[in-house]
Amino acid sequence: MKKGKICVSVCAETAEETLRQIRGAEAFADVIEVRVDCVRSDDPVKLATEIYSDKPILITFRPSSQGGQGPSELSIRQEFWNTLAAGNFAAKEIWFDHEYDLTGIPRAQNTLSIRSFHDFRGVPENLDEIFSRLSANDEIAKIAVQTDDITDAIPVWKLLAKAKAENKPLIPIAMGDGGKWTRILGPAFGSFMTFAALESGSETAPGQITASDMIDVFRVKELNENVDIYGIIAGDTSYSSSPFMHNAAFKAEKMNAVFLPLQVRDLGDFIGRMVKPETREIELAFRGFSVTNPHKQAIIEYLDFIDETAEKIGAVNTVRVEKGKLYGYNTDAYGFMAPLKVLFGDLSGANVAVAGAGGAARACIYALQQEGANVALLVRNVRKAQSLADEFNVRIEPLTLGQSPMATSFDILVNATPLGTKGALQNQTIALSDQLGATKLVYDLIYNPSETRLIHEARSADIETLGGMEMLIAQGVKQFEIWTGKNAPGDSMAAAVRKRLQL
């Protein structure tokens, strides 16, 4: 099995903190990049020469013009590197990262040299030419470009084939959330190495993943070119727990499979250029997707097959890819209902209010109607939600957001809006305790935080509650089964999510 190298990047203002970070990085890293341009109060040359580690130390002195914190003046940078080239190093093995515009730097004895190019604004058109220039003198080419949408990363990824054909080492990186997949898959597909952060919050470039997640969650060192690839298609992948849940399942089942965050803005572009065998520009063995906002309905037009439940719901959260064909399913309805039935029992004739009119609400309404419940929709925009209400033949009421008592009392109140989610909406709730009247159960689909404001309001009114975690796990278990045909290791999946959310 191919072993990819992981380079942990450290960047600190003092020599003391740099050394502390190096000691921390040694547990995960094959190589440690020391960004001496970050050092403010100590001499970067002294630091570079005095660092000791058993791991190879990569010295980087990145100018601000290349996204670093060091001086941009060429003469200052040249002087720094000239001094270093003549230096004696304490580290066992020393590597240098020279930016593309540095010329005339003597090659120090016994060092490995990376020649790097960074573009934090986007992806330049002339990547092939840049690669040729960087690799002209038997140095390792590193090309890092900024991406937003996942397909922005295609050109830099394509360079791997060129590098392989020319037998030249390359580190291609698509920075930003749109390019996280290049960081994870790079080493398995021939990248010389991938860069990782020491810990969350200490990332030295956009989209960097922590070294512990690279190793323990994404299993970067175990992946190879035959890996089955799954991922979550989302407009914003940064909040998703799905990579932790599904990678834990693959790990528990010892599968050669990985689950990636796939930040997709233009869905048609992604499906055409990266998934469909007839049109795709790069060969990645996608086997399945979780689908979330804002693509749950839009994905339908790209499917070759949609199962009956998903079609009736009008939203797809799961795609299986087989022989280039896309099969769509909805596991939200199952995931929503499974824990509800355990807690509430028979739902026939129950009066249920569902707040929200998005993809999740659709799955809830469908599942509730299948069980014979009477459903009403609570929405902030009645006119906008009218077609959904008509489609499912449910009545609709305005959502009053805690300002006045709800018009009707319900047996069950479901929150399928983002109100209460960690972040800006965390303190918001669709209802206060004194509005809950005779409600028997409050079900909040939000799982982060586990106790939302709504759950708190319900508990203080002595009403039974159900959070979104059970649904998350249940719908994920079903996804795993659809993709693999195997029973899912539900306990491992639940443990991974709880660990991530620190529950």
Where along the sequence are the contacts to ligand NAP (CB under 6 A)? 293, 332, 335, 356-361, 380-381, 384, 399, 416-419, 421, 445-447, 468, 471-472, 475
Query: What is the edge-to-edge ordering of all strands in the sheet holding 194-197?
Result: 170-175, 140-146, 111-119, 94-99, 57-60, 31-35, 6-10, 194-197
- Label residues 124-155 b or e (16+ Cβ within 10 Å = b): eeebeebbeebbeeebbbbbbbbbbbbbbbbb
Residue 191 or 475 having the CB closest to ligand NAP: 475
296 belongs to the catalytic site: yes
Examine residue 489 and say whether the peptide bond preceding it is cis (omega within 30 degrees of 0): no
Residue 220 or 361 having the CB closest to ligand NAP: 361
Give the chain's radius of gyration (CA, Å): 26
Residue 419 or 455 having the CB closest to ligand NAP: 419
Residue 194 or 421 having the CB closest to ligand NAP: 421
Q: How far is the CB of 472 from ligand NAP (least distance, A)?
A: 4
CB-closest chain residue to ligand NAP: 358
Rounded to whole angstroms, the Cα distance separating 47 from 18 reads 9
Nearest to 397 by CA among 440, 444, 347, 356: 356
Nearest to 119 by CA among 127, 107, 111: 127
SS3 state at 451: coil
* Number of helical (H) and strand (E) elements in the chain, helices listed first: 16, 20
Rounded to whole angstroms, the Cα distance separating 68 from 72 reads 9
Nearest to 213 by CA among 502, 496, 503, 474: 496
Q: How far is the CB of 317 from ligand NAP (least distance, A)?
A: 7
Q: How far is the CB of 391 from ligand NAP (least distance, A)?
A: 14
Residue 25 or 306 having the CB closest to ligand NAP: 306
Q: How far is the CB of 428 from ligand NAP (least distance, A)?
A: 7
Q: Which of 142, 180, 296, 478 is catalytic?
A: 296
Q: How far is the CB of 385 from ligand NAP (least distance, A)?
A: 6
Where residue 184 falls (left for φ over 0; alpha for ψ -120 to 50; beta otherwise) is alpha
Q: How far is the CB of 384 from ligand NAP (least distance, A)?
A: 5
Instruction: Write the DSSP assignment of 298-313 as a string of letters.
Output: GGGGG-SEE-HHHHHH
Residue 278 or 301 having the CB closest to ligand NAP: 301
Catalytic residues: 296
